[in-house]
């Protein structure tokens, strides 16, 4: 490495930065207008720009990557609102509940100028029940004169209120230091399970694709639809299900069962719930209604799983209803609408008839295996060497950027760092990803490629 112009520290730094496993999740919750979005922007504004190649896909983000004091984590933004759907208290409760469920730590934002309201108190009760670490952000303290307002929030019983001005940045550093103190290094609930413990599966998809039916089918029993208001029930959200001779943890099945409540126009909550389930899972099974055209919403859900870096299986449901014509058009739609995840194993099922249920587990296992694949550095560099020799990067401005070497910095999903003499174009990065897949498999997993350019 040294004679190629990278010093060892560069290389090690790049590998470490790229090599993280799944990141811990911080949820920012609170009433509308207390400044959550402003705070989230401030937190993620610190993020280092990383050259990454993830082919263009629709974004519908609720989670963002952030970095503070050299540590990376995810932030769940709960700033999106559909208050009138449920009424203010229920909205806040539902939003907070979903976000807290997926989180390893929570920043609870209160408007210090307004003080604690009844709605704030309700969220405090949810936070207590959840038992996750909480940092209390007393926002809108724009100057020293506001500090007294912040002190009043001791009354919430959540410990020290951190006076912050999300708008101007005042106090956010101290608050984030505290956040890092309470935030675990890895997402404990997702990956803290003992080796050999049940793998975590998120069954996701837009309303009416058949999630609940599929869950009932695989679990072999009819379930009750819990029709109570989110935030008022505390039923187990995850479920252990025996399938294919193994026990699997289906995460957030309560969310599937609560769909009646969720369907009342609250797309935003559905989105948050999906993001929460994905964060908790290792593999996402995205269920798609094969009888209907693949929609933007289907694509968004797929994108969510991919961007979260989870293993992915596509399950096309309601196969029993398909005629020959629909089957033909479906194949075309899959090519055009889901081409970016052509690497995902696919099963064609019917939750109604039980068709191909037995193919679900092998598909999940394949995806998890791809997700955990590690390519030895020697093999990777032999492959890269041949590839670069046979297909050099196009010459740009009289120069030809060259990939010197690479390494796999991490798994779950596989993350590669390539070291190069110049800027590597997106098209060439996609080409490398494609060839990596041809060579090493990686079925069912996104791949992250980052490129470090020699200074
Ligand atoms: P959210 O609904 O909780 O996401 O709140 P927003 O982030 O959208 O902020 C609501 C309003 O409060 C906006 O007009 C912000 O500019 C304002 N705001 C947010 N943070 C601060 C702050 O620290 N000080 C002041 N004075 N205003 C703020
Ligand atoms: P969810 O909203 O994704 O949980 O969807 P549901 O499980 O509630 O299913 C929505 C509708 O699709 C219900 O009327 C189901 O009976 C129907 N359905 C689910 N799976 C199948 C299937 O494989 N074939 C057919 N024909 N209908 C299905």
User: How does pLDDT run along the chain (455 residues), one tens digit per residue?
Assistant: 555 667 777 777 777 777 666 788 899 998 888 998 889 888 988 443 332 333 333 334 567 888 888 888 988 877 554 445 556 666 677 777 777 877 899 999 999 999 999 889 988 998 998 889 999 999 999 999 999 999 999 999 999 999 999 999 999 999 999 999 999 887 755 444 445 578 999 999 988 899 989 988 887 754 434 333 333 333 457 788 888 888 888 887 766 655 444 444 456 667 778 888 898 899 999 999 999 999 998 999 999 999 889 999 999 999 999 999 999 999 999 999 999 999 999 999 999 999 999 999 999 999 999 999 999 999 999 999 999 999 999 998 888 999 999 999 989 999 999 999 999 999 999 999 999 999 999 999 999 999 988 86
CB burial string 311-344: b at 16+ within 10 A, e below:
bbbbbbbbbeebeeeeeeebeebbeebbebbebb
The residue with tokens 């724009």 is 142
CB burial string 276-296: b at 16+ within 10 A, e below:
bbbbbbbbbbbbbbbbbebee
pLDDT at position 79 is 59
Token pair, residue 138, equals 């007393």
CB burial string 356-378: b at 16+ within 10 A, e below:
ebebbbebbbbbbebbebebeee
**140 known ligand binder:** yes
Q: Is 145 exposed, middle or buried (0-12, 13-18, 19+ CB in 10 A)?
A: exposed
φ, ψ for residue 92, nearest 5 deg: -60, -40
Mutate to test the pocket of ligand 2, among 203, 204, 210 (most ligand atoms within 8 A of CB): 210
**What are the pocket residues of ligand 2 if the criterion is a CB atom closer than 6 Å to any ligand atom?**
205, 207-213, 256, 259, 317-318, 320-321, 350-352
In sequence order, the 6+-apart residues with CB closer than 8 A to the CB of 434 are none
Q: Is the dihedral of CA 111, 112, 113, 114 positive or negative?
A: positive
| Residue 114 Cβ contacting ligand 1 at under 6 Å | no
Ligand nearest the Cα atom of residue 204:
2
pLDDT at position 224 is 39
- Omega before residue 413 within 30° of 0, cis: yes
The residue with tokens 């252990």 is 240
Mutate to test the pocket of ligand 2, among 270, 301, 351, 360 (most ligand atoms within 8 A of CB): 351
Question: Is the ipTM reported for this complex over the cut 0.90?
Answer: no
**142 known ligand binder:** yes
CA of 208 to the centre of ligand 2 (A): 6
pLDDT at position 246 is 85
CA of 38 to the centre of ligand 1 (A): 6
CA of 394 to the centre of ligand 1 (A): 47
pLDDT at position 102 is 78
Q: Are 185 and 105 in contact (CB under 8 A)?
A: no
- Residue 306 CA to residue 446 CA, distance in Å, equals 6
Q: Are 352 and 213 in contact (CB under 8 A)?
A: yes
Q: Rounded to whole angstroms, what are the CA distances from 286 to 183, 253, 420?
A: 29, 14, 36
- Residue 367 CA to residue 345 CA, distance in Å, equals 7
Atom of ligand 1 nearest to the CA of 34: 3
Ligand nearest the Cα atom of residue 170:
1
In sequence order, the 6+-apart residues with CB closer than 8 A to the CB of 208 are 289
| Residue 35 Cβ contacting ligand 1 at under 6 Å | yes
pLDDT at position 3 is 52
Q: Are 365 and 82 in contact (CB under 8 A)?
A: no
| Residue 33 Cβ contacting ligand 1 at under 6 Å | yes
pLDDT at position 430 is 92
Mutate to test the pocket of ligand 1, among 28, 167, 171 (most ligand atoms within 8 A of CB): 167
Report helix, strand or coil for 435.
helix
- Residue 300 CA to residue 277 CA, distance in Å, equals 14
Token pair, residue 361, equals 């587990």
Q: Are 176 and 28 in contact (CB under 8 A)?
A: no
pLDDT at position 335 is 96
In sequence order, the 6+-apart residues with CB closer than 8 A to the CB of 56 are none
Starting at the earlier edge strand, list the strands of the sheet with 311-317.
239-243, 246-250, 199-204, 283-289, 311-317, 346-348
Starting at the earlier edge strand, list the strands of the sheet with 415-420.
403-410, 415-420, 448-453
């Amino acid at each position: 490495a040294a004679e190629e112009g990278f010093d060892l520290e560069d290389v090690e730094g790049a590998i470490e930065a790229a090599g993280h496993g799944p990141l811990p999740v911080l949820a920012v919750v609170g009433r509308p207008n207390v400044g959550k979005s402003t705070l989230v922007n401030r937190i993620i504004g610190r993020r280092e720009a990383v050259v990454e190649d993830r082919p263009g896909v629709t974004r519908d983000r609720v989670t963002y990557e952030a970095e503070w004091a050299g540590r990376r984590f995810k932030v769940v933004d709960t700033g999106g609102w559909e208050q009138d759907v449920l009424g203010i208290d229920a909205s806040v409760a539902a939003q907070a509940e979903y976000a807290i469920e997926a989180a390893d730590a929570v920043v609870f934002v209160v408007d210090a100028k307004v003080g604690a309201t009844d709605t704030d108190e309700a969220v405090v009760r949810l936070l207590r029940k959840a038992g996750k670490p909480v940092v209390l952000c007393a926002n809108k303290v724009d100057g020293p004169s506001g500090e007294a307002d912040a002190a009043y929030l001791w009354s919430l019983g959540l410990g020290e209120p951190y006076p912050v001005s999300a708008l101007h940045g005042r106090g956010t550093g101290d608050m984030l230091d505290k956040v890092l103190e309470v935030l675990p290094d890895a997402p404990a609930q997702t990956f803290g399970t003992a080796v050999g413990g049940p793998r975590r599966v998120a069954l996701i998809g837009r309303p009416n694709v058949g999630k609940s039916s599929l869950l009932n089918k695989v679990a072999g029993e009819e379930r009750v639809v819990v029709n109570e208001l989110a935030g008022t029930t505390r039923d187990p959200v995850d479920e252990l299900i025996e399938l294919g001779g193994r026990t699997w943890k289906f995460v957030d099945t309560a969310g599937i069962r609560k769909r009646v409540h969720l369907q009342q126009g609250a797309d935003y909550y559905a989105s948050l719930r999906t993001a929460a389930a994905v964060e908790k899972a290792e593999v996402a099974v995205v269920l798609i209604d094969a009888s209907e055209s693949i929609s933007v919403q289907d694509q968004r859900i797929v994108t969510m799983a991919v961007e979260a870096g989870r293993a992915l299986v596509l399950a096309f449901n309601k196969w029993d209803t398909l005629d020959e014509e629909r089957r033909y058009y479906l194949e075309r739609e899959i090519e055009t609408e889901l081409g970016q995840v052509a690497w995902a194993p696919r099963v064609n099922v019917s939750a109604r008839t039980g068709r191909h249920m037995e193919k679900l587990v092998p598909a999940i296992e394949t995806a998890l295996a791809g997700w955990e694949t590690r390519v030895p550095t020697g093999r990777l560099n032999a492959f890269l060497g041949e590839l670069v020799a046979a297909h050099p990067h196009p010459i740009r401005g009289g120069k030809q950027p060259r990939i010197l070497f690479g390494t796999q910095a991490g798994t779950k999903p596989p993350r590669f760092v390539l070291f190069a003499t110049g800027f590597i174009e997106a098209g060439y990065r996609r080409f490398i990803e494609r060839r990596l897949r041809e060579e090493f498999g990686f079925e069912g997993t996104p791949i992250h490629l980052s490129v470090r350019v020699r200074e």
